[in-house]
Amino acid sequence: MKVGIIGAGNIGSTLARKLAAAGHEIKLANSKGPESIRDLAAEVGATATTREDAVTGVDAVILSIPFAAHRDLAALFQTVPENVVVIDTSNYYPYRDGAIAEIDDGKPEAVWVTEQIERPIIKAWNAVLAETLAKKGADKTQPGRIALPVAGDDPEKKSRVLELVEATGFDAFDAGGLATSWRQQPGTPAYCTELTADELKTALGKADPNRSADNRETLIKGFMEGGESLTHDDIVARNRAVTA
């Protein structure tokens, strides 16, 4: 599959590396231009390019950018064919993105993104820590494989994303449509808690929209106070404890 990735941070670059290793043809772009990521792209097996080129002649586009930055992307997708799958990995954090009233009032993040870019998306790889994505993928034959939720309204496009998630070393779990994708947002039991498929199914079912925003803020405050003393395992454990 030909895949364009916009965003070359920890998640975007790791996805580029893993999908290239799985045999996919990857274009990697960011907001600063291809020269700024030329060496990184070569290292992960991708081609550094512009954002415009990253959405041209591809089967799928992965958006791995700060949440609020989606406001600037509608024009980019005006000429992209409808059959191209658009995947979003982002999450809303008010301290970083600024308060967005619609989301604070209950609109699912994925629905808001769809409205900003004027294209339906598939939500994937948002509920995983960067270190988990980079280091904890496993062969499908391995027991206890971590599962990741995938949400979207188009069954055919979602099936293609499920395959891509599997290619990155995780069990891909169909989490339903975008209207219920809030179940995999920050502050929910499914978010960054490293669960198996059976555990993830249970966690998605236990998500409480009345608690998730408060959980998110409690966790962020704790992570900021803990600073560099927190290990990856500490972060996973805290996510599990607060959202349980």
pLDDT digits (tens, 9 = 90+) for 111-168: 999 999 999 999 999 999 999 999 999 998 888 999 999 999 999 999 999 999 999 9
User: In a 3-state reduction of DSSP, which class is residue 47?
Assistant: strand
Helices and strands: H and E segment counts in the chain = 11, 8
**How many distinct structural domains can be found in the chain?**
1
Arithmetic mean of pLDDT, 46-61: 97
Q: Assess if residue 234 is contained within a domain.
A: yes
Q: Assess if residue 21 is contained within a domain.
A: no
User: In a 3-state reduction of DSSP, which class is residue 144?
Assistant: coil
Q: Assess if residue 16 is contained within a domain.
A: no
The angle, 0 to 180 degrees and rounded to 10, between the axes of the packed helices 155-167 and 10-21 is: 90
CATH code: domain of residue 165: 3.40.50.720
Q: Assess if residue 9 is contained within a domain.
A: no
The angle, 0 to 180 degrees and rounded to 10, between the axes of the packed helices 232-243 and 212-226 is: 150
Give the pTM: 0.96
Category of 125 on φ-ψ map: left (φ > 0), alpha (ψ -120 to 50) or beta: left
Q: Assess if residue 32 is contained within a domain.
A: no
Q: 28 - beta bridge partners?
A: 5, 48
Q: 171 - beta bridge partners?
A: 147
**Domain of residue 217, residue span:** 66-243
Going by C-alpha positions, the residue among 209, 192, 108 that lies closest to residue 151 is 108
pLDDT confidence bin for 77, thresholds 50/70/90: very high
CA distances from 57 to 19, 44, 81 (A): 17, 20, 9
